[in-house]
Amino acid sequence: MEIIKGIGVSPGVAICSAVIYDAEKSRIPRRSVAPESAKKEIRRLRVAMAEAVQEVANLQTSQADIWDNKIRDIFAVHLHFLRDRSLRKRIVEIILQQSYTAEYAVSVVLRDIAKHFAQADDAYISERVNDIYDIERRLLRHLIGRKREDIQHLTEPVIIVARDLTPGQTASFNTKFIKALATDQGGRTSHTAIMARSLGIPAVVGLASATGKIAAGDTVIVDGNRGTVVIDPDQNTIDEYKRQAAALIEHELELDELAHLPAETTDGVIIELHGNIEFPGEADIALAKGGDGIGLYRTEFLYLEADHQPTEEEHYQAYLTTIRSFGSQPVTIRTFDLGADKFTQAQRDMREPNPFLGLRSIRYCLQNLDMFKTQIRAILRASAHGNIRMMFPLITNLLELRQAKWVVADVKEDLEEQGIKFNDSMPVGIMIETPAAALCAEHLADEVDFFSIGTNDLIQYTLAVDRINQKVASLYSPAHPAVLQLLRTVVQAAKRAKISVSLCGEMASEKDYLPLLLGLGITTLSLAPPMIPEIKKAIRSMSMEQCRAIARKAMGFDTDKQTISYLRAEMQKILPDEE
């Protein structure tokens, strides 16, 4: 049994066997088996080699008319290697002599061959290095990995272990069988973490060595609350975690009973709790969890899920589905926030050196006007049927905002000419996600109907800490005095201009920050639907007067560490029975 520590990003506990996702890209852990199991490993190797041969032979047949001679030659070389008895003999010898697993033995032998090829003077041989890696990946996939398509056809519960997962991959997971995620990379506010919370499955990211230590089929416990992963747990540990998992489910059911009660402080102030969603289907969950509307609909998942540019009709239908759950309550549709860690196929092929500082979000939309206009047309058409608000992400200056609003005006004109109905006074707001926007909030406030503070990005840009990089995760702190000052600046600007301000970053679902946010005057929060009941319970246990006093004191500390421990202690007083 071994326990590894990462960052718990989605609560809950799951116990089941592991699947290594995209295993062929991972480093293969050095693992030994008992000497008497060597025969089994050799059998696994034989089967994997035979399957790989069959796979290449099938490809040769099915692609015969398409491949040119060059490609035919490459695959002939692959087949030659896979059928080579001396190669198999070398791998078998290592299994027998060192008691290694078949996958580790394959990796050792093929990487050794690749190393020799790379050093060869003959250009033809040195260029074959990538072929050797290809052969290694193919064999490993047959030995331990599951292909992406296989993940779609699971028949038993599994825990996905991966080096990293893109938000698009995570979005495609079937939660009926995928019970938890454990990744080497990632931070608390990475979009993969956000997806896991929305899907309601436990997740631990930033484990650094999960793919190196866990093998396919290992029993694994993922504890999303503590941020730990237990590999090969003993029976006592399994029993203990099963007890904890049952207690968590019971706690969740108790919290769900608050769904129909208002999020009202003990001195009678109503706080609005909205849901953050990625898919229209989640609107129902947000409603069931007691959400008062949708504060952030991340529409780019329409793109990432489908991997094609959504049509106007696809947008429109998605928005209609979302508003259907909420009647007259607000649904805030954020225009495409593509780029950075949420890239399109085209962006994937042209990765930028600093994607979070690059062509992302509103910048990408303003350079791809046809795509942007298609979405705005659909939002406007849907606005005729519900309480829709439109929101632009990553605004950094007034001109950018004005440009985006001109596009809206343009689309409205077209719709009018075509006699298509829309709500002409649909509120248009922006996300405050950069220090530039926060510091210029006063000017921006004059030209929009509302602000929504995106702390996930605001924190990373203010502190120069990449939100998805686990190596600097400890520096990513919502309580940094610079972040708190920016929050106060934005709230004051909104108040002066008499526009509403909400907060939709992950900070909204971290209970300890709640009194501070309420005390600063942020009375609308938008968060992952599964987190709404817990936050509602906390709100119902505190008074606004108490929050204002806590905020005043919290704003006075010099370091985030002091602020965090103060806020934690205050929350402990408010909810003494909770961890």
Contact positions toward ligand PEP, by CB under 6 A? 194, 296, 298, 337, 433, 454-457, 504-505
One of 24, 223, 300, 457 touching Mg ion (CB under 5 A): 457
143/516 with CB nearer ligand PEP: 516
Strand, coil or helix: 229: strand
For the CB of residue 172, give the shortest distance to ligand PEP in the complex, in Å. Answer: 18
Note whether 513 and 461 are within 8 A (CB).
no
Q: If contact means CB under 5 to 8 A according to the sort of partner, which of Mg ion, ligand PEP, none does residue 298 touch?
A: ligand PEP
When asked if residue 292 is in the footprint of Mg ion (CB under 5 A), the reply is no
For the CB of residue 413, give the shortest distance to Mg ion in the complex, in Å. Answer: 30
* CA gap 537, 148 in Å, rounded: 40
41/510 with CB nearer ligand PEP: 510
What angle do helix axes 129-143 and 102-119 make, rounded to 10 degrees?
180
Owner of token pair 């010898």: 93
In order, the DSSP letters of 8-77 are: EEE--EEEEEEEEETGGGSPPP--B--GGGHHHHHHHHHHHHHHHHHHHHHHHHHTTTT--HHHHHHHHH
When asked if residue 186 is in the footprint of Mg ion (CB under 5 A), the reply is no
Report the residue closest to Mg ion, judged by CB.
457
How many residues bind Mg ion (CB under 5 A)? The answer is 3
For the CB of residue 393, give the shortest distance to Mg ion in the complex, in Å. Answer: 6
For the CB of residue 503, give the shortest distance to Mg ion in the complex, in Å. Answer: 12
* CA gap 359, 347 in Å, rounded: 9
Number of residues assigned to the chain: 579
Q: If contact means CB under 5 to 8 A according to the sort of partner, which of ligand PEP, Mg ion, none does residue 505 touch?
A: ligand PEP
Q: If contact means CB under 5 to 8 A according to the sort of partner, which of Mg ion, ligand PEP, none does residue 504 touch?
A: ligand PEP
Owner of token pair 């106060």: 488
* CA gap 259, 195 in Å, rounded: 22
SS3 letters across 285-354: HHHHCCCCCEEEEECHHHHHHHCCCCCHHHHHHHHHHHHHHHCCCCEEEECCCCECCECCHHHHHCCCCC
184/433 with CB nearer Mg ion: 433
When asked if residue 339 is in the footprint of Mg ion (CB under 5 A), the reply is no
134/433 with CB nearer ligand PEP: 433
One of 454, 529, 530, 533 touching Mg ion (CB under 5 A): 454
Choosing from 78, 142, 191, 480, the catalytic residue is 191
145/454 with CB nearer Mg ion: 454
Q: Give catalytic status of residue 191 as yes or no.
A: yes
296/554 with CB nearer Mg ion: 296
* CA gap 495, 521 in Å, rounded: 9
Cβ contacts of 63-68, under 8 Å, gap ≥ 24: none
Q: Give catalytic status of residue 80 as yes or no.
A: no
- Residue 148's alpha-carbon distances to 23, 111, 152, 392, in angstroms, are 10, 24, 7, 33
Q: If contact means CB under 5 to 8 A according to the sort of partner, which of Mg ion, ligand PEP, none does residue 560 touch?
A: none
For the CB of residue 456, give the shortest distance to ligand PEP in the complex, in Å. Answer: 3
For the CB of residue 505, give the shortest distance to ligand PEP in the complex, in Å. Answer: 3
Window contacting Mg ion (CB under 5 A); options: 196-204, 428-436, 459-467, 565-573 = 428-436
Q: Is 359 exposed, middle or buried (0-12, 13-18, 19+ CB in 10 A)?
A: middle
Return the H-helix or E-strand segment holding 391. strand 388-392
Residues in touch with Mg ion (CB under 5 A): 433, 454, 457
Residues annotated as part of the active site: 191, 504
